[in-house]
Amino acid sequence: MHGTRILDEADRLMTVCNSCRYCEGLCAVFPAMEMRRAFSDGDLNYLANLCHACGACYVDCQFSPPHEFNVNVPKTLAVARAESYAAYAWPRALSGVFARNGLVISVMAALSMAAFILGFVVAHDRDVLFGVHTGPGAFYKLMPHNAMAALFGAAFLYAILALVMSVRAFWRDIGAPIGGRADGGSIFQAIRDAGELRYLHGGGVGCYNEDDRPTDRRKLYHHFTFYGFLLCFAATCVGTLYHYLLGREAPYPWWDLPVVLGTLGGIGLVVGPIGLFVAKRDRDPALLDEGRYGMDVGFIAMLFLTGITGLVLLVLRETAAMGPLLALHLGAVFALFITMPYGKFVHGIYRFTALLRYAQERRRAS
């Protein structure tokens, strides 16, 4: 028996699946399962995070409901996955945030944006807040660069710390050898598998969403979102380097690297989340962890908000709307950063970690 009902159910299903093995060619979950005959909590959390929720094993399973064996691996692992985020959350006191995640994320987003707007209003005269600022350093008339860097740097560092501590607990629990370091080959393999979403493909035909016809839409929109996020992050990094190394202050012209990266990334963060939201809305409820709808949509909405406020700020940065828009954009980004370790964002970190473990296991087995 395990600590939770969902892990008991996951154990039951893995026992069924391990005596069948028909799905072995569909993804990484089943080959990883076959390397075990019994399943600890950590094993089940590992398999849950290895699952990309493509749905193929549900559509292909002769024992899925209404069969009395009631085998629904995607849904069970989705619930187990979400519960694992809470189980490994650092500090433990904040693991409850995952329970009402949609609410927490939206309150944090609203508070964060409100705080920036309020801060701007309190700190500035009306004509500064609604003034037209152009040229290098325009943004910093509203918020000094050092204040911005300190605030966001601190939020970002906290997010990193919390994520590292959480993943450490996960990595230990999923049976990674004590003191064992991941080898370069496994890391490279895991980066590739994560980067191309190798296992969100239903064994080659695509992912199952609203019916039994597979498509690659979710993969495509996830790529938009993920690479959009990375481009935005790269834009921020390049901007920081420009500032400190070259002494060049934002805003930069539209053709300059931070803006180009940010614009492309922003488009990704608008198109991707919309596509993912529509896919989620239309998805067969049989495959969904409906209890986590708020968490999933909350994260999608945060990414969308970050992207759209950034793009609008870019377009209107030389108008009187710049001040309020900057407050909104910074508010969105700040909320995204501080909620990162306590929302759907962590799925990518845990999945990458699970893929790394899988790559290691495969190497050791071969």
Partner 1 sequence: MQSGALRNSCISLYTKVRNGGSVSKTRNRSGSGVLAGGMSKKYDVLVIGGGNAALCAAIAARRGGASVIVLEGAPKFYRGGNTRHTRNMRCAHDAATEILTGPYTEDEFWKDLLLVTGGQTDEELARHMIRESKDILNWIVEQGVRWQPSLGGTLSLGRTNSFFLGGGRAMLNALYFTAEQLGVEIHYDAEVTDLVIEDAMFLAARLKRPIDAVNEIRATSLVAAAGGFEANIEWLKEYWGEAADNFLIRGTPYNRGSILKMLLAKGVQEVGDPTQCHAVAIDARAPKFDGGIITRHDSVVFGIVVNKHAQRFYDEGEDLWPKRYAIWGRLVAAQPDQIAYIIFDSTVVTSFMPTLFPPIAGQTVAELADKLGLDPVALEKTVTDFNAAVRPGTFDHTLLDDCRTEGITPPKTHWARRIETPPYLAYPVRPGITFTYLGTRVTKEARMLMKDGRPSANMFAAGEIMAGNVLGKGYAAGMGMTIGSVFGRIAGQEAAKHARN
Residues at the site binding partner 1, with contacts judged by CB under 8 A: 15-16, 18-26, 31, 34, 37, 56-57, 59-63, 66-69, 203-205, 212-213
Quote the CA–CA distance of 277 and 218 in Å, as a whole number.
10
Q: Which is nearer to partner 1, 60 or 249 (CB)?
A: 60
Q: Which of 38, 363, 41 is nearest to 193 (CA)?
A: 363
Could you list the beta-strand ranges (E) of the chain. none
Residue 203 gets the label, from left (phi > 0), alpha (psi -120 to 50) or beta, of left
Q: Among positive and negative, which fits the CA dihedral 63, 65, 69, 75?
A: positive
Least Å from the CB of residue 68 to partner 1: 6
Quote the CA–CA distance of 183 and 356 in Å, as a whole number.
9
Q: Which is nearer to partner 1, 54 or 308 (CB)?
A: 54
Q: Which is nearer to partner 1, 68 or 125 (CB)?
A: 68
Least Å from the CB of residue 16 to partner 1: 6
Q: Which is nearer to partner 1, 31 or 307 (CB)?
A: 31
For 31, 116, 144, 179, 335, the CA distances from 122, given in Å and listed in that order, are 59, 10, 14, 52, 20
235: its two tokens: 């834009």
User: How many Cβ atoms sit within 10 Å of the Cβ of residue 263?
Assistant: 18
Q: Which is nearer to partner 1, 21 or 281 (CB)?
A: 21
**149: Cβ–Cβ under 8 A, 6 or more apart, which residues?**
240
Least Å from the CB of residue 362 to partner 1: 13
Q: Which is nearer to partner 1, 36 or 124 (CB)?
A: 36
Instruction: Count how many Cα atoms sit within 13 Å of the Cα of residue 64 in the half-sphere of its side chain.
Output: 15
Least Å from the CB of residue 44 to partner 1: 15
- Nearest 5°: phi and psi at 19? -95, 5
Least Å from the CB of residue 104 to partner 1: 39
Quote the CA–CA distance of 161 and 22 in Å, as a whole number.
41
Q: Which is nearer to partner 1, 30 or 299 (CB)?
A: 30
Q: Residue with structure tokens 């053709």?
A: 255
Quote the CA–CA distance of 48 and 10 in Å, as a whole number.
9
Least Å from the CB of residue 19 to partner 1: 4
Q: Which is nearer to partner 1, 22 or 254 (CB)?
A: 22
Least Å from the CB of residue 86 to partner 1: 30
Least Å from the CB of residue 177 to partner 1: 21
